[in-house]
């Protein structure tokens, strides 16, 4: 039997219980590739989807990056970490990657509107496209898409559910710590 040959590095997949529900992460040996919310009843199904998504060997369990993520998430939810220090590998279009880089510039505890984010990337007319790119962010929390709101101050949407967005924003505004 011939094994499939791939140039892609192996991926590690793990899940973490968090105050905002289960989180599923994937990483290579050198970078975090995804972090997403998953309701408990879909956890096994989502793990299987990720295993099929990658054109590379997938391994369960820990890597150095996933181990660092676990520690940094615990610190974040305890209110002791404002910024994540992890190597990231978020694959998207050049436009999406510009939006995701700009998201990382939003200070902890603050929010920007979709318009502010569009202006930041140099295209004030791209608010709708910015919203789609924001929603396509593959690395929740670490790339802080939850910090984007409507221009009128409304919450806007959130792929992980508005209840999660409220919890994350309240945490960052110093309105409590969340134990793991």
Per-residue pLDDT reduced to its tens digit, 28-84: 889 999 999 987 677 677 777 776 776 666 777 678 999 999 999 999 999 999 999
Which of 3.40.50, 3.30.160, 3.30.70, 2.40.128 is the CATH number of 11-77? 3.30.160
* HSE-CB of 135 using CA atoms within 13 angstroms: 12
Catalytic annotation, pick one of 33, 38, 104, 145: 145
Which of 1.10.540.10, 3.40.50.300, 3.40.50.720, 1.10.10.10 is the CATH number of 94-172? 1.10.10.10
Catalytic residue flag (residue 33): no
* pTM of the predicted protein model: 0.87
- Give the model's pLDDT for residue 4: 45
Domain ranges of the chain: 11-77, 94-172
Task: Give dist(CA 99, CA 123) in Å, integer.
Answer: 11
* HSE-CB of 96 using CA atoms within 13 angstroms: 14
Quick: pLDDT tens for 125-168. 999 999 999 999 999 999 999 999 998 888 888 888 999 999 99
Whether residue 6 has pLDDT greater than 50: no
The crossing angle, in degrees rounded to 10, of helices 94-103 and 127-135 is 80
Higher pLDDT, 50 or 111: 111
CB atoms within 10 A of CB 90: 19
Asked if the domains 11-77 and 94-172 are classified in one and the same CATH topology, the answer is no
- Give the model's pLDDT for residue 88: 96
């Amino acid at each position: 039997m011939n094994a499939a040959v791939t140039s892609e590095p192996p991926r590690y997949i793990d899940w973490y219980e968090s105050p905002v529900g289960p989180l599923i992460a994937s990483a290579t040996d050198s970078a975090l590739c995804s972090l997403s919310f998953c309701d408990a009843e879909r956890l096994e199904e989502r793990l299987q989807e990720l295993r099929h998504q990658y054109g590379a060997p997938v391994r369960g369990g820990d890597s150095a990056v996933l181990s660092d993520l676990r520690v940094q998430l615990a610190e974040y939810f305890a209110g002791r970490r404002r910024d994540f220090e992890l190597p990231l590998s978020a694959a998207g279009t050049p436009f999406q990657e510009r939006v995701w880089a700009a998201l990382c510039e939003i200070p902890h505890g603050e929010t920007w509107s979709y318009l502010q984010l569009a202006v930041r990337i140099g295209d004030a007319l791209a608010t709708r496209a910015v919203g789609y790119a924001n929603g396509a962010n593959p690395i929740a929390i670490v790339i802080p898409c939850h910090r984007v709101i409507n221009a009128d101050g409304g919450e806007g949407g959130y792929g992980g559910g508005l209840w999660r967005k409220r919890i994350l924003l309240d945490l960052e505004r110093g309105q409590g710590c969340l134990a793991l």
